[in-house]
Amino acid sequence: MAQRCSFAVPYGAPILAISFLACVATDVELSVNNHTADFTLSTQPGPAVSLSCLVHNSSQAEELLWYRGDGQVGLKDGNKVNISNICISPVNESDNGVTFTCKLARDKSVQVSVILDVQFPPWLSGEETLHVEEEKDATLTCNSKSNPQAQSTWFKDNHSLTLQPSRHELFQTSEVFRLSIRKVQKSDSGTYTCVVESPLGNGTRDFHLVVEDKKPVFPTEAVIAAVVVVSITILFGIVARKDKFFKCFKKQKETAL
Ligand SMILES: *[C@@H]1O[C@H](CO)[C@@H](O)[C@H](O)[C@H]1NC(C)=O
Ligand SMILES: *[C@@H]1O[C@H](CO)[C@@H](O)[C@H](O)[C@H]1NC(C)=O
Ligand SMILES: *[C@@H]1O[C@H](CO)[C@@H](O)[C@H](O)[C@H]1NC(C)=O
Ligand SMILES: *[C@@H]1O[C@H](CO)[C@@H](O)[C@H](O)[C@H]1NC(C)=O
Ligand SMILES: *[C@@H]1O[C@H](CO)[C@@H](O)[C@H](O)[C@H]1NC(C)=O
Ligand SMILES: *[C@@H]1O[C@H](CO)[C@@H](O)[C@H](O)[C@H]1NC(C)=O
C-alpha cells in the first residue's frame, strides 16, 4: 500500500527501516475500482454505485473487509476472498461525505478508502407562513441542502430585498439561510422568497410574513386596582351578612329552647 511504503514518514532511520521492512513483508496491495490510494467518487442520487476491492501481489488467499464509516459491512461468502464487491443502491443525498473502506482482514492497516461526493441540486424546507405582531421580531428560516455549496439570496415580492442594516440581519451556514427582521412594521408583510442557486439547478421557497395589529397592552395596574376594589366590596358584604347570620342563628336557638 502506497502509504506504508511512502518515504514521507517522519525522519528517523529506524522508522524508515521498519516501514520498508513492513512494506516488503506485506507486499500485498489493495485497489478499489482501480485506485490503489484513497479517492473521492463523485456521483448523483439515484443510480447504484458499485465498489470493487481487489487484492494484488498476494501469495495466499486474503480475506477482505468492508466498512461504511466505522461500521463493518456484512459480506456474503464468496464475496470475501481476494475480491469483494459492494453496491450502494440507490445512492441518496444522505450518502454524501460517507467513507467506504476496504481492508485486509489479516492487516487492517492495508486499506483503501472511497469518499462519496453525492452532488444534488438545492432542496429547501422551512415554515412557510409566519404571523408576527407589529413591533415584534420576525425570523424566516430557509433550510437548504445542496452539494456543491450554493449561493443564497432573499427576494421580497419578486424584487431583490434591500437590506437595512439596522433592521435586517442575515445568518448563514451550509444548511441554513436565515433572515431576521427587527421590530416588524406593516410594510414588512409580504412574500419572501429564498433563492438558492447551484450549478446543478436553482431552488426557491416562498415564505409568507403576515404582520398583525399590535395587541392592546394589558393594563396591569387598572386590573390590580379593580381586583382590590372588588375584594374589599365582597369582604364588606360578608362582614355585613355575618351579623345577619348570627342573629338568625341566635333566633333559631331561642325558638328551639
Ligand atoms: C480497471 O482498469 C481496467 C483496465 O485498466 C479496466 O478494464 C476496468 O474496467 C477498470 N475497472 C474499473 C472498476 O474502473
Ligand atoms: C507487485 O509486486 C511487484 C514486485 O514486488 C511490483 O513491481 C508490482 O508493482 C506489484 N504490483 C502491484 C499491483 O502491487
Ligand atoms: C486468492 O489468491 C491466492 C493468491 O493468488 C490464490 O492462491 C487463491 O487460490 C485465491 N483464492 C480465491 C478464492 O480466489
Ligand atoms: C437514504 O437511504 C437510506 C437507506 O438506504 C434511508 O434510510 C434514508 O432515509 C434515505 N435518505 C433520503 C434523504 O432519502
Ligand atoms: C411573482 O411573480 C410570479 C411569476 O412571475 C407571480 O406568479 C407572483 O404572483 C408574483 N408574486 C408577487 C408577490 O408579486
Ligand atoms: C439559476 O438562476 C440563475 C440566475 O437567476 C440563472 O442564470 C440560471 O440559469 C438558473 N439555473 C437553472 C438551472 O435554472
- For the chain (257 residues), the mean pLDDT of every run of 10, in chain order, is 39 47 65 97 94 95 96 95 95 94 96 97 93 95 93 94 93 93 95 95 96 80 74 69 54 47
Query: Does 245 reside within a domain?
Result: no
Looking at residue 220, its pLDDT comes to 72
Output the domain CATH number for residue 200: 2.60.40.10
Domain housing 159 = 121-212
Query: Does 178 reside within a domain?
Result: yes
| Closest ligand to the CA of 197 | 6
Q: Is 172 in the pocket of ligand 5 (CB under 6 A)?
A: no
Q: Is 58 in the pocket of ligand 3 (CB under 6 A)?
A: yes
Rounded CA separation 212/22 (Å)? 74
pTM: 0.68
Query: Does 219 reside within a domain?
Result: no
Looking at residue 1, its pLDDT comes to 39
- Read off the DSSP letter of residue 77: T
Query: Does 193 reside within a domain?
Result: yes
Rounded CA separation 183/174 (Å)? 27
Cβ–Cβ < 8 Å for 101, 54:
no
Expressed in angstroms, the distance from the first to the final Cα of the chain is 116
Q: How far does the centroid of ligand 1 lie from the alpha carbon of residue 61, in Å?
A: 22
Rounded CA separation 17/144 (Å)? 51
Mutate to test the pocket of ligand 4, among 91, 92, 143, 147 (most ligand atoms within 8 A of CB): 92
Looking at residue 240, its pLDDT comes to 64
